[in-house]
Amino acid sequence: MSKDKPEEFFRFLEKGETVPVFLLYGEDFLAMDRAFKAVEERVLEGDLPEFNVDYFHGKEADPGQVVGAARTLPVMADKRLVVVRRVEEWKGLARERLIEYLASPAPATVLVLIAGALALRGAGTRKDDIALVEAAAKAGMAVRFPRPKGARLPRIIQETVRERGKRIESDAVQLLVDLAGDETLGLEQELSKVMIFVGERNQITREDVLEAVADIKEANVFEFTDAIGTRDVESGLRALRRMREQGQEPLMILGMLLRHFRLIWKIQEYMESGQTPGKISKLVGVNEWILKKSYLPQIKKFSESDTGMITRSLADLDIKIKSTRADKDVLFERSVIRLCLGRLF
């Protein structure tokens, strides 16, 4: 196949088809995230995902392990999925090994390569970037997602809000753009937080955005911990990958997750002793609205003994990440999957 446009890619997936290789590259990270999610849903479709998917991240990934995973046959399924993010970080022999695989990809594997902007033209053109795109296009699909122009972002926000049955003030639109910049990867996520925050109200104000969004990176962390707390493996993995793409270190993310479950553990103990939500919020230092919105629903999904075991298991993961040479993202993502599926212990 030749190099494709995003709309052609989505039309292709809607037909229920896949190819051995998808290269998703460019600057529109929100669109690439949607594209990856569409491929993931198409390939896995409930077929033992914990056994038929491998995730790798940039220069921290070993090319031999990636190719080995891609050559592995699926377990009780038609296809397996192998995902490599930050492929632009692969240089020299690593890039050559990847292109060598693309010349003869495994038919039972769908390899998704996700990259930022590639140098394909102009003074800074890189031959290895051109070779990667050409090889991926020949093996499957190479889809470029260009950065949306800044002038389009306010209209995108307004249209999205209108589709969800609400209105948004122009000052609120501008604040969202200012907070997210042209980082489309986080824009829809933050807008969703605002929608949840306003509830049944039809109008979104600047103050709503300030209250609901705050700092973008911090919001990503809380999206991640909330997803794990509700055992939403898909959202949890997506938030984890987004934070890693933003440069946040695994140990920092793990520390936030440990803190989250320790708080749940404390809240469970106070509830067992008959404390009211208002009193508990003061005791644990969490806003009462956040306590009721995020923590109390999550408590129903874990017993008190579960949360104690989870905190100990995550502490063990902390030691493993610090002491092993294994891919930290792979260790973390596998633990997230097991935790959400109730198989951590």
CATH number for the domain spanning 155: value is 1.10.8.60
Residue 166 belongs to a domain:
yes
**In the listed set 214, 235, 265, which residue is the last one of a domain according to the structure?**
214
Q: Which domain holds residue 202?
A: 150-214
Return the SS3 of 204. strand
Residue 107 has a pLDDT of 94
Count how many domains the chain has: 3
> Is residue 227 located within the same domain as residue 313?
yes
CATH number for the domain spanning 104: value is 3.40.50.300
Q: Indicate the residue type of 43.
A: V
> Is residue 249 located within the same domain as residue 195?
no
Residue 129 has a pLDDT of 92
**In the listed set 214, 233, 249, which residue is the last one of a domain according to the structure?**
214
Residue 259 has a pLDDT of 75
Answer whether residue 284 shows pLDDT above 80. no
> Is residue 181 located within the same domain as residue 106?
no
Residue 233 pLDDT level (bands cut at 50, 70, 90): confident
Residue 345 belongs to a domain:
no
Average pLDDT, the chain: 81
Distances from the Cα of 226 to the Cαs of 40, 46, 264, 332, in angstroms?
22, 23, 11, 16
Residue 137 pLDDT level (bands cut at 50, 70, 90): very high
> Is residue 84 located within the same domain as residue 179?
no
Lowest mean pLDDT of 10-24, 129-143, 151-165, 169-183, name the range. 169-183
> Is residue 32 located within the same domain as residue 133?
yes
pLDDT tens-place string over residues 285-344: 666 766 777 788 888 777 777 777 777 777 778 777 777 776 778 888 888 887 777 665
Q: By the 8 A CB rule, do 306 and 337 touch? A: no
Residue 150 has a pLDDT of 59
Global pTM value: 0.53
CATH number for the domain spanning 281: value is 1.20.272.10
Q: Indicate the residue type of 227.
A: A
Q: Report how far residue 206's alpha carbon sits from residue 197's, in angstroms, rounded to the nearest whole number.
A: 12
